[in-house]
Amino acid sequence: MSPNAAPTRVVQIECNLDDMTGEALGGMLDLLLEAGALDAWFVPIYMKQNRPAVTLAVLCAPEGAPRLRDLLLTHTSTLGVRWCEMERQVAPRHQITVDTPWGSVRCKVKSLPGQAPRPKPEYQDCLALARAHGIPWHIVQDAAYDAARQALAQTEE
């Protein structure tokens, strides 16, 4: 897809929660992503009587919205959800796999016309290798960035 391609339709669904534990909220993000959400996130807010809370937001394809709304109503303490349909534009990207001294890491590569490709190592790959080798994850991430930049430079030649 080029950066000038037509935007795609998405639905953002959200609810406010002030009475769920951090563990339950984290589990809810996993459930939503496993159920097909394109993305899900929390935003800290304050509700009535200055109670700390979060807005749980979900981005999905229009056809997935009814199922994700039902999941929010069923698996959270919310009494209601709200949603809106919107458009989004995504940057063209592809994936490469690079080798580091500790193993392979997948990298997303953002490619915009007139700009150098920008790699982003997958956090989970870097974390798994770091844990397996007893080193900080950012050491693996730095090595993956370097390997990706080298691989992309060779592709351009």
Listed residue (12, 2, 14) closest to 61, CA to CA: 12
- Mean pLDDT, residues 100-118: 95
**Residue type at 43 in one-letter notation:** V
CA distance 94 to 77: 38
Query: With bands split at pLDDT 50, 70 and 90, how would you rate the model's confidence at 18?
Result: very high
Share of the chain above pLDDT 90, in %: 90
- Angle formed by the axes of helices 65-75 and 22-34, to 10°? 160
Q: What local confidence, expressed as pLDDT, does residue 25 receive?
A: 96
C-beta separation of 71 from 24 below 8 A:
no
CA distance 129 to 100: 10
- All structural domains of the chain, each given as residue ranges with its CATH number in brackets, are 8-88 (3.30.70.1380), 93-156 (no CATH)
Q: What local confidence, expressed as pLDDT, does residue 20 receive?
A: 95
* Residue range 23-33, pLDDT digits in tens: 999 999 999 99
**Residue type at 134 in one-letter notation:** G
How many CA within 13 A on the CB side of residue 71?
24
CA distance 116 to 132: 32
Structure tokens at 118: 């920008």
Question: Does position 1 have pLDDT exceeding 50, yes or no?
Answer: no
What DSSP string runs through 94-117? Answer: EEEEEEETTEEEEEEEE--TTS--
Q: Which pTM value belongs to this model? A: 0.77
C-beta separation of 20 from 47 below 8 A:
no
